[in-house]
Structure 1
Amino acid sequence: MTDHDLMPTTRRGLLALGGAALGTTALAGPSFAGGDDNDGDDDDDDRGRGARSYRVTVANLTPGQPFTPPAVALHRPAVEVFSVGDPANEPTRQVAENGNLGPLVELIEATDAIRAAGVGDAPLVPASDPGDTGNPYYASLELSADASATHLTFLSMLVATNDGIVGLDTVPLPERVNASMTYYANGYDVGTEENTERFEDLVPPAQTLILGEGEGGTTESDPDLAEDGVIRPHPGITGDGDLDPAVYGWREPAGYLQVERLD
């Protein structure tokens, strides 16, 4: 299967999940990086340390959970886009509940300590592509950042969940040219919405990306389902609603990442 390279992004909403149609990605504009300097470091000094290029390959390891297009950020070690055991911030909540990457893009553009970032150009489906979507099960993104970016964060929605994500929080980048590092990413429940497992409460592509057809769903958060929890390991699919664990369930790890330093 051909690699799906990095697509440029802007502050606009990145994932169109409307109606009963298959989820697609709407991307335009330049690659994004940090904006205002929020941490007091000397930006010019860091940029003078030279750009480093990386290839980040993200793969879906589940048999029945689609991912939204993977979002990857290269950043300084103090950055925490999400943290297990803490309440989810609004960008993480929007990704987890609605597949909405717009607030995450805004966070990245406003945070100078995030030195480079990008989003894949398609949802990642299981390798068997059970919905016959033609979408890939992996994507390769190439990013460049100055030497102050020493860590990586990865985030995607587990599409057929109420508020599930698959991700990595602040893991090291390889230091040497031609070195690579392998990571496995688990699924997390961000604790902001009850797990009804009903299609009417999930984003529309929850059915189409796996079954190839389906109706209903929503791209808006339902206040009646709101929870006041913290990010925790995902309990998996229980079968209490419309989701069959044999179809939509998974074993950890849910995702695979290989990070290579190119130069």
Structure 2
Amino acid sequence: MLRFNKSLIIIALGASLAACGDSNNNEVVTPPTPEPVSYQFSVEVNNLTAGQPFSPVALIAHNEGNLWQIGESSSAALELMAEGGDNSELLNFASAIATSSGDAPVGPGAQTTLTVTTSSLEELKLSLATMMVNTNDGFTGLNSIDVSALTVDEALTHFTFAYDAGTEANSEAEGSIPGPADGGEGFNEARDDIDLVSMHPGVVSQQDGLSGSTLNSEHKFDNPLAKIVITRTQ
């Protein structure tokens, strides 16, 4: 009888252990949540002009579209920036996935660095724009530069040219230029020029015969206007 009871105990223990084994095999293991991946770019903007401060720079990461197109009409956002240096609407670019803005103008010979971070490299492009504030509606920048293939610590260097938003006549008249050369009104929603983006013809100035100009020879500029260094840092 004693042997029989021991056998029952052994059988019961075996069944219990088997049940425990089955329980472990059926346990659902939740995998850890992966850390989010981010990609970071540093953009250094160097003002190469002698007398044209740049408005606070707008930097936009996006995967489609352009901030401007030569031969096409400026957007209202580009007009606002190119006439008055206000980049707030440009930073609301419809295709933007990340943006950054300088917090102050960039004087002649000075430089500023902006940073932008995204969660994807797929078809990633960077654009930036800034006004030459001692003009009526002149601006410079980069348009849809592909950075999707950049590796960490790899850099691209670009030199920018002067563009005319085509929204305000280049009168150089007193009261029409927002920069320190004049302190004028800047943005005006009326468009009194060709209403097409083009290469900027340059400043004329008083010395070169534009009698009503508030600008002088120090406000003239040659291309390139800026040196831009884009570095992937993460």
TM-score by length of 1: 0.69
1:197-216 matched pairs, under 5 angstroms: 197-203=172-178, 205-207=179-181, 216=183
Per-residue CA deviation, residues 68-104 of structure 1 (Å, 9 max, x unaligned), is 011111110x221111221100000000111122222
**Is 1:141 equivalent to 2:114 in the alignment?**
yes
Per-residue CA deviation, residues 167-223 of structure 1 (Å, 9 max, x unaligned), is 1111122521111000111110011110011231111x332xxxxxx6x51144163
2:224 to 225, 229, 253: 253
Q: What is the one-letter code of the residue matched to 2:166?
A: G
Partner of 2:193: 227
1:106-125 matched pairs, under 5 angstroms: 107-108=92-93, 111=94, 113-125=95-107
Partner of 1:179: 154
Structure-2 separation of matches of 1:141 and 1:102:
16
1:189 to 164, 177, 188: 164
Structure-1 separation of matches of 2:225 and 2:51:
10
Give the secondary structure class of the aligned counterpart of 1:153.
strand
Q: What is the one-letter code of the residue matched to 2:88?
A: G
Give the secondary structure class of the aligned counterpart of 2:150.
coil
Q: Equivalent pairs: percent with the same residue?
A: 26
The CA RMSD measured in Å over matched residues stands at 1.9
Q: What is the one-letter code of the residue matched to 2:226?
A: G
- Which runs of structure 1 show a deviation greater than 4 angstroms over 4 or more consecutive aligned residues? none
Cα distance, 1:49 vs structure 2 = 8.5
Give the secondary structure class of the aligned counterpart of 1:92.
helix
Partner of 1:101: 87
Partner of 2:74: 88
Give the secondary structure class of the aligned counterpart of 1:217.
coil
Structure-2 separation of matches of 1:201 and 1:175:
42
Q: What is the one-letter code of the residue matched to 1:87?
A: S
Partner of 1:19: none
Q: What is the one-letter code of the residue matched to 1:258?
A: V
Q: What is the one-letter code of the residue matched to 1:254?
A: L
2:40 to 24, 47, 53: 53
Partner of 2:124: 150
Partner of 2:9: none
Instruction: Give 5+ residue unaligned stretches, structure 1.
Output: 1-47, 128-136, 208-213
Count of residue correspondences:
192
Structure-2 separation of matches of 1:242 and 1:206:
11
Between structure 1 and structure 2, the one with the greater Rg is 2
Structure-2 separation of matches of 1:96 and 1:248:
16
